[in-house]
């Protein structure tokens, strides 16, 4: 198994969402996971695939771009976060596990990496035994009932500070026949003054161990230009972003 690490990129919100989805739908292959960290070229908030944009605008205010993610979850501010994406192919344990189990596994990697840099991170525990058998709809990263705001109300297996309970990291998932897509965000402010390059290295080392995969730096796949334009256009469109 290979953990293919893509170069860092900074792009618009629509381009970032389009790239993640294209990697899931057109670049997933047996024996390889994809990972990337990316930045934002504009002030932006993203929101879950089933949320209403009008409610999100009330939270974000009039300035930032609002783009609907392909994954679930709540409203995420990308004004000061460390954003990552992970794809595991069908057949990999992360892709075959229940949503709560895969969420737990990825966030344990985040918490372990933060702890190695002195951030007192831990996971929000499951309050009852039945969490292990939660449905996709009841799992972390699934759609909140209202316009849930990431980093405000921690959910099961989110990453929080052990000293004051402040939420540090959350994520959302999309599962298809090709595999599973994680889109995750780490609140920089909640982590304090840490070396983010060191965090990146620690995260990849731990992720390689957990996924039983050899880390491999690689270039982005060559996507057909018409596919790229179509996918970016979808995430830029009113039809996508205001559909609910």
Q: What is the CATH number of the domain that holds 81?
A: 3.30.930.10
Average pLDDT, the chain: 90
Q: Residues with Cβ < 8 Å from 114, sequence gap 6 or more?
A: 121, 159, 168, 186, 191, 194, 199
When pLDDT is averaged across residues 119-127 and rounded to a whole number, the result is 91
Three-state DSSP at 118 gives coil
Residue tagged 């491999």 (tokens): 216
Query: 35 near 85, Cβ under 8 Å?
Result: yes
Domain with 97 in it: 2-241
- Cα 6 from chain centroid? 15
The model's pTM: 0.90
CA 29 to chain centre: 20
163-217 per-position pLDDT tens digit: 999 999 999 999 999 999 999 999 999 999 999 999 999 999 999 999 999 999 9
pLDDT of residue 139: 60
Burial class (CB in 10 A: 0-12, 13-18, 19+), 239: exposed
Report residue 230's pLDDT band, with 50, 70 and 90 as the boundaries: very high
Number of domains in the chain: 1
Q: What does residue 62 show for φ and ψ, rounded to 5 degrees? A: -80, -15
């Amino acid at each position: 198994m290979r953990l293919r690490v893509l170069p860092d990129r900074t792009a618009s919100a629509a381009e970032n969402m389009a790239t993640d989805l294209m990697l899931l739908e057109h670049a997933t292959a047996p024996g390889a996971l994809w990972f990337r960290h990316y930045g934002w070229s504009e002030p932006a908030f993203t929101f879950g695939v089933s949320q209403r944009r009008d409610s999100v605008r009330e939270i974000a205010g009039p300035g930032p771009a609002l783009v609907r993610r392909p994954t679930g979850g709540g409203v995420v501010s990308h004004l000061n976060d460390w954003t990552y994406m992970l794809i595991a192919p069908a057949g990999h344990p992360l892709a075959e596990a229940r949503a709560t189990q895969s969420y737990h596994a990825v966030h344990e990697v985040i918490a372990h990496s933060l702890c190695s840099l002195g951030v007192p991170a831990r996971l929000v525990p499951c309050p009852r035994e039945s969490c292990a058998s939660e449905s996709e709809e009841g799992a972390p990263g699934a759609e909140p009932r209202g316009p849930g705001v990431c980093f405000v109300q921690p959910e099961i297996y989110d990453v929080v500070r052990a000293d004051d309970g402040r939420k540090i990291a959350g994520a959302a998932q999309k599962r298809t026949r090709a595999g599973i897509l994680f889109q995750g965000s780490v609140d920089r402010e909640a982590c304090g003054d840490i070396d983010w390059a060191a965090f990146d290295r620690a995260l990849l080392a731990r992720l390689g161990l957990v996924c039983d995969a050899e880390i491999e730096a690689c270039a982005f796949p060559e996507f057909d230009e018409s596919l790229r334009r179509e996918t970016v256009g979808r995430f830029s469109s009113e039809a996508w972003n205001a559909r609910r």
